[in-house]
Structures are given as C-alpha cells and as structure tokens.
Structure 1
C-alpha cells in the first residue's frame, strides 16, 4: 500500500499554458488541482513567447465574420503535416480541431480576454485549406498588477503591451506613418501611460499567462514554485497514482486521486538529451526556451514505460547569440528587404521569409553538404538604416554589437566575407544575383515574397516585391545565424484524450501529458502562428476534463 504525505485530485507538473489550462479545467469540473513549478518563476516558455494560439474555426473568428470550418482546417492539417505516425493521428487531429474552439469558449467564460489576430497568416496559406487571414488568437493587453505581489513571480516580463499583429507594423516605424503611429500607440498609449499611473502593462505571452494565473488564483488553485518533480509513483498495476516532489531540500509524496498531468515543457536546456536525440552540431546555448526546460518530467514519464515520438525535432528557428550571451530569435529581421542568409560558400539555401521551423530544417539539411552552421545574415546599409535588429533601433548600431562580435561591419562584400570566413567570390556573385531578383520583383531561386505569410514581415514601400531589396549599398553587415529553437517538439506519446501511451499502444492509467512534454500533433511542421500554444491549451483542457471525470482512486 502506497502512503502519501498529502493527497489532491490532480497533480499538474509545470506552469505554462498547457499546465494552466489543465488546472482550470480540473477546477471547473469540481476537482482540486495542485500545480508544481520547478523554478522560481511561473509561466514557462509560454510567458516568454508571442502568446498566440493557433485555433482554427474559433469563436473570435466567427464573431469577426471570418468563415472557417472543421473540414477546411482538417484538409490543411492533413496536407501540411502529412503522415508522421501516432503523435499526429487522425484521432488527435480531430480532437484538436473540435475541442480547440470549445477551449477558447471555456477560457472566455472564466473571464480571460482574448483577441483575434486577424491578418496573421497561416504559414502555408496557399496550401489546400490554408488562409492568409489567419486563425490565431491571443491575450488582450493586460495589467499584471491585478495579480497583486504575485506578478513578480511571472517569467519574462517585458514592458511592451503589443499584440502580435502590431509587431510587423512597429518594425516599420521609421518607414511609414502607419508604422510610426502603431509604435506610438503601443509604446506611448498602451505601455508608458499605464505605467505612469502605477499599472504593469503586458502584451503577448505575459498577457495570456497573466490572465490564466489570475483565473487560477481567484479560484483558489495553488501554484507551488521551486518544487520540481523527482519521480512518478505507480501502483502494482502500473497506474500512476502520485508524484515525489522536492521543495527546500525536502521530498514529499503527493497522491493524485484522478491523475497526474505532465505539462512542464521539453528538454531544450538538457544538453545530454539534445546530444542524444538531435542532429549535430547542437547545443543548449542556441535555444530560446526557458531555463527550466530540462526534461525531468519527460524522463519521469519514460521511466514508467511511456513511449516517445518526434524526439529528433524541435520548434526550430534562425537564432543569434546576443552580446550578453543570450539567444535571440530572428523573425522580421530575416524577412525584411535588403538582407539575405548565406552559407560558408556565400550561397543562399532557403527562402529567408519562410516559417522558422522550415528555416531550421533547411539549415541542418544544407549543413550536411556545405558548412552552414553558422550561416550568415548579410545586410546592406538600408536594412540597418530602416529596420530594427534584435533590440537595436533602426539607424543605431550600438558599439557593443560590433565589439562583441555579434555584428560585423565592412565597406565591401569582399572585406565582409574575408572577416566572416565566407567565400568572397561566392558572396559577391550571390549578392549580384539576389539584387537582380529584387529589381525584377521575383526570387527565382526560393520564391521569397510569393506567399502571403512571407509578406507578414515585409516593407510595402519596397517595390515591386516587399520582401526583396538589393544588397549593393555599403556599408555591409553580417550576423552569425544558428539553428536555435523555441523548445523541443518531441515528447511522450499521447492519445486524443491526452493520456500517455506505452510502446504497445496501451494507456498508462492516471498519466497525462500536454504541451512540449508530449509529442506534437503538428508533426514536423508549424501550420500557423501559435501552433505550439494552441495545442498546449487544447490538450491541457482535454486532459484536465478527462482526468476530472475519472473515478477517484482510494489513496
């Protein structure tokens, strides 16, 4: 007979979007959850993210008069994901598409304010079932002070109360009145003005997670920080009946009458696991995931017989190493005109505006034949004058960026190539070919600017193609590009109820997984903005409701 120090209905491991959706679903089903977070800050990578959730046919789309359907979204998912095995089974796709809209209605019913990210295109809008108008939702701008002193416990606070649909326009603040007006509204009206009256304005991932925490705390859901999972506890039949957790050096056995949800991210910060599962070269230095993404809960699931899938994949994306040594994720910078990405031979090997997951796959594929890790983002003077890069404003290149080696500046492409270790003749020839494409408005090599998604981050003032600009005006700049990520994509194999499965397909009773602890329903691709958080919220909601509905175990 297993003995416990305390017993609750459902133990939720993690505190990101999947975990909080689980906890709220459990609570609203009349059961009591307990949330365990391993670090000193809550929110995980969700709090550090753009905060968007890709949910086809969601109620905010319908309210905006935008037509979508299960059939259209299913066609799109089937087309872009393909057959990747049980992680993205037909049953899991069906569950995501049918329960996702209900999850949104559930959160709205709890007082979580969401907005439709209209205009943020699917990543393959030209594919069957795709749409350029977008299927994403995100948190409304929010005042973190509503959490009281607990707002200090939320990870990654950035005082910028923006929506994802505004970011592209803000990048053009020095290029258009619309961009300037958007930046002034976001920075002045929505950020600085509220701060002057004592508020703590938030947007993006902080706005979403802040509201989820507020909903949880007002409903009496306990969130224990600095309480990592040590191991899962099983009964004689192999069912998971609780956890061993550690706090202040003391281990506690916590029973779970209805089950345990593992929703604590993947293994992006676990070097040993990355070396084991991912293509080389690989390092934890390139990831943008939160520091607690160490893979412990995933390993705990494997220790009790859980199957895994997609372990060699991640939510890849071109990344830089900032002057302070942190990783930075490139999005608009590589898509805006007057820039291109090349390998060590000086040749391009991707559409720089494509989905970041595709860009990561392409960088590794290129590196198998031509050294492309690092690759190099090459910019001419107009890119640096007109657009931001990282936290550097347009036209302002801090000395620290150059002195640290983050960015290299040269008066000619030949000099830039020599300094960076790029083949000079190759770089010059590529720049000439690329510049000809820019003048003609057609990228004949990779189709950059052809897709509506490419143009989400573009400059309409640059014609005839808003993603293409010649690279022929000195000085020139180069930044090293690494195959970073937002987190790992592989994890525990789950069914349509978020229940964890064994290799033989049988269910591990009492064990659930969602978010990056589970193998993604999105397979090896990324259908649209928020294709991490969308399934995380949905399968957290599904798993929480399913666990709460089970007959309680006598513990």
Structure 2
C-alpha cells in the first residue's frame, strides 16, 4: 500500500484563473486546499489574457449560441452547464473584486456615452465588443457582453508580477488586461487561510484509490526533486494544455512547426497523467492562435504575436476600420488568405497549415510578411506576451526600427530586393502579389480573399520591410473529456471518481472559439467542479 506524506481535502494543480477559482470555492466551502504551481510564479497564461470575461444575459440564448459555435463536437449537457454559468458571472466577478476595491466594468455600465468612459465608434455606435459580444453572428450572439476590471487601487503590475510582459500589463485593449483580473483572483486566494500555495511544484502522477476508477492522491515533485505523495478527497486538474509540448503537437496537429506564444510550462501534464487511468480526449486539433515573429535570441524562446487588431463580425465587415499594415505571401510569393480574419488571434493560423502533396512540404510555414514605410510607421507590428521570469524580457519598439537592427524585420528599397533577401523562389511572383494588392486597395475591395476594405493599406512607399512569419499557439483547447460536473470521463464513458478537470485542459470549445470564452470557462468550470465535490463523502 502506497504511503502518503500529507493529506488535504482538495488538491488543485495549476495557479491560473481556473485553479484560483477552484481553490477559492473549495476554501469557502470549508475545505483544506493545496494549490500547486509548476512555475516559480503564479498566473500561467491566464495573466496574459485580454481580460474580457464573456458573460450572458439569457441562458437559453447562450446555449443556442454555444451549440451553433460547437457544431456538435461537445455534448449538450456540457454546453448547457457553461451557458448557465455565464449568466451570473458579472455578479460573481463583482463579488470577488470587493477584496481589493477593483473597479468592475460590465453590462450595467453601458450608457449613451460608451462604457464607463470608453468611447463610442467614430460613427457614434457602441463598439462591437460590448454589444452582441459573441464573436460570430450565430443564434443567440446578442445575449453576450463582457465584464472586465478597469482598475485596481494601488496596483502596479510591473512590480507585483514582474515576470509578466509589459505589453499585457498595460491597458492594451478596451477590456483592460488579464493581469488586473488575475490580481483580483490572486488576492482572493491569498486571503483564504485554508489555502496553501506551493510554487516550483510539478504534478507527476495520479494515485489510484482502492475502488475501480477512483483517484485518491497525487505525487508532486518539488524544486529540489523530492517526491511527495499527497492524499486528497478530490483532485482538480487546472494545469492548462500542451502549448509547450512539441511532441504532442506533432501528433495532433497537421502543420509544423508551430511555435508557442507564451507557455513553455504547459506540457500536457494533466493529459498524460489522466491518460494512464484511461481518460478520453477531445478537441485535440483545436487551438487558439495566429501568426507571429521569431526573435533571434535563444534567450527569448517564444514567438511574438503580431499586433492585436480589433475583432469584427462576419456580416458587419463595415465595422472593420483599423488598417492592417501587412500582407502575407507563401514561399512561392503568392497571397493565400485574408490576413485579417474576424478574430485574427484565433483562426489565422489555420490556412497556414496547408500541405502541398506535390512538394511534400508546408509552403506557408514560414510565410513572408510584407509592409511599406507607411505601415512601419503606423504602430508596433509585434506584441510580445509572456509570463516567465527566466527569459529575456523584450518590449517591441514603437517605430519598429529596433526590430530592423535585430534582424526580426529586414529592409529593402524595392520589393524585388526584399524578396532576394529572403531567398524567395520567384521574386516576380512576389512583385505581382504586391501589385495586385495595391490595385485592390485602390479599388476598395479584396476580390481574391475578401479582406474588409477598411483594413486595407497599400504597400507602395519605400523602403519596404519583411519578416518570416510562423503559425503560433496562444492556448490549446483540446484535452480531457469531462461531463457537466467537470468529472474526467474515461474511454468507456465512465466518470473517474474524485478527478476533475477545469479551464483549458479539455475546453468546451471544440470547433470555433468566442472571444473571452476561455476566461469565462475557467470561472464557470472551477465553480461547477467544487459544487460537485461538496457532495462527495
């Protein structure tokens, strides 16, 4: 019989949003909680999020939307649980925010002047982010809206969470930063005296109970390499996906290589541990991502996402009015997609994973980003995003010139010269692609790929700039199958007793994603798991 070194009521693995909410709820129910984190700092990739928590006014409309969004890839009971949980999220966030006096912005603050000081669109309409918050105009989309944390008194992210990238710590979107939302849940965790937090503590293996399909503990590896067996009444896995595991990515994704934007510690640990007990998997192909730049230094191991441009909704193309400075061409010099999808940071990696069976290669990995001097002056082209104390902390320059000096961007006086610098196979094709693009800009319509007219910017003012661009993952959606109570389900459709999964380690989103949905899911799944645990003996 395996000997246990310690015992807690609930052990939570991972200190991001989902793990924090799980710990808070379990502690408030009277449980002694151990919250472990593999990294030396809290936050995971949650702290890097945009910060908008997707909420719903009507549960039936939310359910209809999630059904349409998922295309039948997720059981309706699981979708219903998420929809139900979204309807009181604003109140829940508001309750948590009392811990430190954080100012909450939600549906109740919507007025004729915008949202709590956030302005209207140039035409006087309310930004899409706050009306009909669903990313796609599917049935029920109009019920969604966002709740965020506008400010936290006496909170300085760069001091309290120095491992987190400055680009996310600053107010980089209308939602505010995920760092402020994380500050709220972080303070709530620390206030609970019956929650013990341990960093540099990696989950190694689940420990079976005496009954079939039962989990009664976990083996934890500390910073010094010491293994500790901890007994628990329930285990909650909140340790994220496999953004930092290239081996798993090669088995589940088509295109390669695909880099990670921010998550080297997310190596699929929860998936692998639960698989030993027969856990089923779902949505493994699906990830939230886009495309980005490579930094030349090995001390910066992540890809750098391109500038986060505002989302737009299919059917409302006229609202897309922010210029995107660049186009992308493949290794044959040809454009192959609309570079500005409705949600660039979610789906624009998908067209890049095309396999050419003739050449047995991926001719869009990497692609070539091209812009001119007007585009270079428009805004920083890249946005580093990370939560890692062990890497080179990099801030992209306002004018993109530092990146030219570093070699992230290359500069040329002509498109042909730029193509030569990247050893493009057909410089004529690159020139022709830029010429067609400029003609489309002057006509106001991208007949080839349907990029919204308001986002188009000619590439006709030298010098010209280029960069290799790679597909990247911000967070995975695939992982462990679970039921509406967040119980892990095995390959025979049976629940693994006392084992729960929350957050992105087996997300509900299995086909398309809706902005802010993962944060909402972290909150809802953590609460639902603990509700079920409270009924265990």
Q: Could you tell me the TM-score, scaled by structure 2's length?
A: 0.82
Distance 2:423 2:286 in 1: 29
Report if the CA contact (8 A) 2:56-2:145 is conserved. Answer: yes
Q: Give RMSD over aligned pairs.
A: 2.7
Partner of 1:337: 324
Structure-2 residue corresponding to 1:211: 184
Structure 1 unaligned segments of length 5 or more: list them. 58-68, 168-202, 450-464
Determine whether 1:505 maps to 2:493: yes
Contact 2:48/2:168, CA 8 A, preserved across alignment: no
* CA contact 1:52–1:164 (8 Å) conserved in 2: no
Residue matched to 1:226: 200
Whole-angstrom CA distance in 2 between matches of 1:240 and 1:411: 64
- Checking the alignment, whether the CA contact within 8 Å between 1:48 and 1:290 is kept in structure 2 is no
Q: Which residue does the alignment assign to 1:420?
A: 422
Aligned twin of 2:365: 373
Distance 1:416 1:136 in 2: 43
Residue 317 of structure 2 aligns with which residue? none
Q: 1:312 to 1:303 in 2, by over 3 A?
A: same
Task: Look up the match of 2:479.
Answer: 491
2:365 counterpart SS class = coil
Aligned residues: 477
SS in 2 for 1:426: helix
* 1:112-123 matches, cutoff 5 A: 113=102, 114-116=104-106, 119=127, 121=129, 122=133
Asked if 1:277 corresponds to 2:252, the answer is yes
Deviations 1:73-106 (A, max 9, x none): 333322232122xxx2111111111012334423
Q: Which residue among 515, 522, 525 is the counterpart of 1:536?
A: 522
Matched, 1:156 2:178: no
Q: Distance in 2 between matches of 1:329 and 1:403?
A: 19
Gaps of 5+ in 2: 108-114, 116-126, 311-321, 383-394
What CA deviation, in whole Å up to 9, does each residue of 1:357-380 have, x standing for no partner? Answer: 321111113666761000122111
Counterparts of 1:380 and 1:516, CA distance in 2:
38
Instruction: Give 1:315-464 correspondences, 5 Å limit.
Output: 315-324=288-297, 325=300, 326-332=302-308, 336-354=323-341, 355=343, 356-365=345-354, 371-390=363-382, 391-398=395-402, 401-422=403-424, 423-449=426-452
Query: Which residue among 140, 146, 159 is the counterpart of 1:136?
Result: 146
**CA 1:414–1:234: 2 relative to 1, 3 Å:** same
Q: Secondary structure at the match of 1:480?
A: strand
TM-score scaled by length of structure 1: 0.79
2:274 counterpart residue number: 301
Deviation at 1:291, TM superposition (A): 2.7
SS class of match (2:370): strand
Query: Displacement, 1:382?
Result: 0.7
Structure 2 distance, partners of 1:136, 1:145, is: 22
Aligned partners of 1:511 and 1:160: how far apart in 2? 33
Question: Which residue of structure 1 aligns with residue 49 of structure 2?
Answer: 49
**C-alpha distance in structure 1 between counterparts of 2:8 and 2:80, whole Å:** 31
- Distance of 2:355 and 2:147 partners within structure 1: 34
